[in-house]
Structure 1
Amino acid sequence: MPFDTLSFSFLYDDIDLSSFSCVEQDLTDFLIEDARKNQDARLSVTRIVSYEEQIVGFFTLTNDCIIRKGIGDDDGEDGYPYPHYPALKIARLATHEEFEGRGIGRAMLVRTMAIAMRLSQYVGCRMITVDSKPNSEGFYLKYGFQRALLKKKRNMTPLYRDFYRPYQEAEKSMSPTLSDFDRQR
């Protein structure tokens, strides 16, 4: 499904969530029963993804950190003096069961990366983390996430992605650099 056919919006009170259903019932339940409450309490923020007026997915983001010892040697910043890296956590991500396999999950990850890049311009944020369900781990690994060097949590696998590393690599080979554009606001 082309990215430009999807619309992304914040979860508002007037959005009817009753038609959403995904394979993982606990994700459907979270969206319908808890997402608004968590958002109102400033614990997380949920975005709804729609296609032709139908909810086809959602993702929920919150702040996080990852212990420096939990990431690979090729990630992070040389000489970083703190024990944790600031991160943006994908707390929930789900696609409507009738729309699986159409690129909606990928579109939500792309949007999450864009949000992380924007966030990192205002506050420290270097990693994106997710505690993946076993049947979703392959999805995240396919898009550059890695297993954290940490113990599993409650049948979940902690994963992370240093979203800034590819940005740094691109900077080395570009003229003008991406940073030049960042400064032009």
Structure 2
Amino acid sequence: MKIPFRDLLFSFLNEDIDISLFRCREPDLTEFLIEDALENQVARLSVTRLVSYEGQIAGFFTLTNDCIIRKGVSDDDGEEWYPYPHYPALKIARLATHQEFEGRGIGRAMLLKTMAIAMRLSHYVGCRMITVDSKPDSEGFYLKYGFQKVLVKQKANAVPLYRDFYRSYHEAEKDMSLPLSSFDDSTR
């Protein structure tokens, strides 16, 4: 049964939250959350948000800055007139759903929140794309939500993907039947 977005609580990772019971299918993602995420956040290398449902951590996602080479972007994305070799981007560095919540819409909710964060960020600094180096087993998940493969050299053990969120913003609003701005509550 899908969990409605409105029933989820988004919060920043902090030292007062017990994350020790979080488990996902990828041990390295669980390990990152428990052992490295807070340290990276304190060092301003990335920011991790937790997604909770009824008091239990249902997922987490970690964001950082990025850029994507212009040659890696489809001609249908970006701007033809843009003269620089890279587009500014927001990177999904990690995204994981607790095993008990798989298939209940938590991943989709985290992508919606990421899209809203990217839109808000783009009001303050240049940010046009969302990028992710997907694990091969997760590629289909991202493709389902409008991400595309980067058109240049592929990394080993990861599938570089991107989404031009600015171009697809209105399209996404139609798909979701709610304005993305409604997901951009900085207190959630």
TM-score of the aligned structures, taking structure 2 as reference length: 0.88
Classify the secondary structure of the residue corresponding to 2:83.
coil
Distance 1:67 1:27 in 2: 26
Check if 1:10 corresponds to 2:12. Answer: yes
Q: Give the aligned partner of residue 64 of structure 1.
A: 66
Check if 1:98 corresponds to 2:78. Answer: no
1:150–1:158 CA contact under 8 A, matched in 2: no
Equivalent position amino acid for 1:32 in 2: I
| Structure 1 ranges of 4+ moved more than 4 A | none
Distance 1:149 1:167 in 2: 22
Shift of residue 167, structure 1, vs aligned partner: 3.4
Deviations 1:81-118 (A, max 9, x none): 00000000000000001100000000000000000000
Change (3 A) 1:23 1:168: closer
Which structure has the higher relative contact order (CA within 8 Å, separation 6+)?
2
Shift of residue 152, structure 1, vs aligned partner: 1.9
Alignment counterpart, residue 128 of structure 1, candidates 127, 130, 151: 130
Shift of residue 169, structure 1, vs aligned partner: 6.8
Deviations 1:112-155 (A, max 9, x none): 00000000000000000000000000000000000001222231
Shift of residue 168, structure 1, vs aligned partner: 6.5
Equivalent position amino acid for 1:92 in 2: R
Q: Give the aligned partner of residue 88 of structure 1.
A: 90
Classify the secondary structure of the residue corresponding to 1:129.
strand
Classify the secondary structure of the residue corresponding to 1:87.
strand
1:45–1:62 CA contact under 8 A, matched in 2: yes
Q: Give the aligned partner of residue 177 of structure 1.
A: none
Q: Give the aligned partner of residue 46 of structure 2.
A: 44
The answer for unaligned runs of 5 or more in structure 1 is: 171-185
Q: Give the aligned partner of residue 154 of structure 1.
A: 156
Q: Percent same amino acid among aligned pairs? A: 79
Distance 1:116 1:83 in 2: 21
RMSD: 1.1
Shift of residue 166, structure 1, vs aligned partner: 2.3
Q: Give the aligned partner of residue 183 of structure 1.
A: none
Distance 1:87 1:145 in 2: 13
Distance 2:171 2:35 in 1: 42
1:68–1:84 CA contact under 8 A, matched in 2: yes
Equivalent position amino acid for 1:35 in 2: A
